[in-house]
Amino acid sequence: MNHLKTFALLAVLTALFAGLGYLIGGATGMLIALVFAAGMNLFSYWNADKIVLRMYRAQPVDETHPNAVVRTYVADVAQMARDAGLPRPAIAIIPSDQPNAFATGRNPAHAAVCATTGLLDMLTRDEIRGVMAHELAHVKNRDTLTMTVTATVAGAIAALANFALFFGGGDDRERPGGIIGTLALMLLAPMAAGLVQMAISRTREYEADKVGAEIAGDPASLAAALQKIEAYARRIHNPTAERNPASGQLFIINPLAGRGADNLFSTHPNTGNRVRALMELGTRMGLAPRRAFAEVAPGPATTSVPSTPSHTPGPWG
């Protein structure tokens, strides 16, 4: 059902893009819009993962890393990937003080999972396992490609709407929507695309929480990790994400400073709702209930990002 909803939302995005092209330039405009979308989707299919990894200065790591925390992180990800029936993904760390993580790649055979140095420093081993199992769930569900394509098309809609007047600047009779339709699309198309993109992001997060908790076998640790990450993310900035807000949807918790309710205007579901769903899953799995993480008191906010991924061992190093 989750995949059906995602495909339906992607269809809405495609229809928005084609409709915008039609209102701006008629049948010719619609054809140009579809060709443009196809080109962007093809480019993003092959290159989006490389772009985002380079953007965040992700550093590949393996079992030979000098830091014991990183070696354990690598071993745990590799073990959970095997348990989930997945090829071993590329494993990386991102030099950022904010605890967070994301996955990228066009399919399970070309996937990468990344944790920030802050995540390795501030969470327990079980919590880190829960977070990375969530990211492996995105790989298993092929969410990484879906969200990349969605973000690309949504961005293209916004860009096309911004140039609507220029593309439609001739005789109004040549434009099915006329000048009023063009102006309306300039305002409404980017908003509608953003809403669809956010809705897809929320549906896939709930499903990844469920599948990730099953992979790790520990819903409570993932629930505790989500609460910790959100608490720290409010105080510790992620400058790269702030410069590239469209990439924020890739992370397990929104890396930006904004807060939002569980509605279409949120890029991520409400953390409290996610925690409750995970606790209910733990009960269904027959696991003993455990008090979820409730509150942290992070230190002063910082905007500094280490120039290298080296860091001191976390609480389980």
DSSP labels, 251-316? BSS--SS----SSTT-SS--HHHHHHHHHHHHHHTTPPP-PPP------S------SSS-----TT
Q: Which of 135, 205, 207, 230 is catalytic?
A: 135
Cβ burial of 257 (10 Å; 0-12, 13-18, 19+) is middle
Report d(CA 296, CA 221) in Å as an integer: 15
| Cβ(308)–Cβ(60) below 8 Å | no
CA dihedral 263, 268, 269, 275 (to 10 degrees): -160
State yes or no: is 242 an active-site residue: no
Question: How many residues belong to the chain?
Answer: 317
Residues assigned a catalytic role: 135
